[in-house]
Amino acid sequence: MMRALSALLLCVLLLPGCHAQQDLSLYAQLSATDSIGRKQGIWVEHYESGAVKSVRYYKAGALDGMSMSFTERGELQTYSAYDGGKRHGASRAVEPSDGTVRVSMYDQGVVQLVQVFDRKGILQLEEFYQNGEIMKSVHHTPTGIIEGHPVRTP
C-alpha cells in the first residue's frame, strides 16, 4: 500500500498527466469521503494554473499523516505531521517574503521546540516549551554568541 501511495504522490506532484493503469484506482480515491461525509485519504488541492497547492491526508475527517503545501512554482512551503487531527512531530514553514525557515516539534498538538533559521540556514532563534508554554528563548547572534533569555521558571 505504501509503495502504491508513493507512486501516486509522485504522479500527483511531478507528473500532472500521469495515469498509469496501476494508479487509476488510487487516483479515483483522491478527495474521498466516508459514508457520513468526513474526509478520508489523500486530498489534493490545485492552483488555477493546475499546479499542486496542497496534499493532505485525512482519517475520519481529521488530518492524520503528512500535510504539505506548495508555492505555485512547486516549491515546498510548509509541511506538518498530524496524528488524529493534532500536530505531532516535525513541522516546517518557509516565509516567502524573506526565506526564513521555522521548524517546530509537537507532541500531540503541544509545541515543544521552535527553531528559526535565516535564508542561509543559520540558526537565529530557539524557543523551548514545557506543557505548551515558552520556558526559554535563545537568540543566536551573527558572531555565534548565544544570548539566553529565561522566560519563566518551571
Which residue positions in the chain have pLDDT lower than 50? 1-28, 153-154
pLDDT at 141: 81
pLDDT at 96: 87
Q: How far is Cα 146 from Cα 139, in angstroms, rounded to an integer? A: 6
Residue type, 9: L
Q: How far is Cα 59 from Cα 114, in angstroms, rounded to an integer? A: 27
pLDDT at 145: 64
pLDDT at 8: 41
pLDDT at 19: 38
pLDDT at 30: 79
pLDDT at 152: 56
Residue type, 63: L
DSSP assignments along 74-107, one per residue? S-EEEEEEEETTEEEEEEEEE-TTT--EEEEEEE
Among 58, 63, 67, smallest CA distance to 29 is for 58
